[in-house]
């Protein structure tokens, strides 16, 4: 029986999102395979994280494509992106945190993703939808933070999974919307 690499990675991501310090033995157990099998496919934690990064990049870029960020109002595009990335949100949350461990070693794929999301926030600012006193790069980081916080709150049972998109986008948009003082 052939090993389903993506399924192993999804199992690893689900565990590591909840417990970032899980051992390779625990990852193997969560994936339903032996430690030796896991090590044949991923020589160590670094190789596993790199494979998770590749999967996360593919899924996040697919969500960005599905969201059609250049169409319509920026707020609506943001809502479409958050809904599209929801199935990979746990993986994205883990990777955003884990990538901080690789100082100075940023994958080009993350630069592409950051650029696309930052461009969405910039477009919203240029069209007067979003406040202009917060840099688009910071709004991108805030989005990642909210995605992670929402994933962790769902995993801890503090909020319902069905509320992921609404809670993430409405809190962020409530803070980035440009308001006109009366």
pLDDT tens digits for range 105-133: 557 888 899 999 999 999 999 999 999 99
For residue 182, the model assigns a pLDDT of 46
For residue 104, the model assigns a pLDDT of 54
**Rounded-to-integer distance, Cα 74 and Cα 78, Å:** 6
The correct answer on CATH 1.10.357.10 for the domain covering 53-176 is: yes
Contact assessment for residue 30 and residue 12, using Cβ atoms and an 8 Å cutoff: yes
Average pLDDT over residues 148-176: 89
Of 178 and 45, which is predicted with more confidence?
45
Instruction: Tell whether the torsion through CA atoms of 16, 108, 170 and 145 is positive or negative.
Output: positive
Least confident residue range of 15-19, 83-87, 162-166:
15-19
Domain boundaries, the chain: 53-176
Single pTM value for the model: 0.85
Residue 2 predicted with pLDDT over 50: yes
């Amino acid at each position: 029986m052939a090993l389903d690499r993506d399924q192993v990675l999804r199992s690893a991501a689900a565990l590591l999102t909840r417990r970032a310090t899980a051992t390779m033995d625990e990852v193997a157990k969560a994936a339903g395979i032996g430690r030796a099998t896991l090590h044949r496919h991923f020589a160590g934690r670094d190789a596993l994280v790199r494979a998770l990064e590749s999967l996360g990049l593919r899924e996040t870029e697919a969500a960005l494509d599905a969201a059609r960020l250049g169409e319509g109002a920026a707020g609506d595009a943001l809502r479409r992106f958050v809904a599209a990335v929801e199935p990979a949100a746990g993986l994205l949350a883990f990777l955003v945190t884990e990538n901080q461990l690789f100082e100075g070693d940023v994958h080009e794929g993350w630069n592409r993703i950051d650029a696309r999301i930052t461009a969405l926030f910039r477009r919203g600012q240029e069209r007067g939808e979003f406040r202009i006193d917060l840099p688009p790069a910071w709004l991108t980081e805030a989005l990642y933070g909210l995605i992670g916080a929402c994933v962790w709150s769902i995993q801890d049972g503090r909020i319902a999974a069905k509320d992921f998109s609404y809670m993430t986008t409405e809190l962020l948009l409530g803070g980035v919307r440009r308001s006109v003082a009366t």
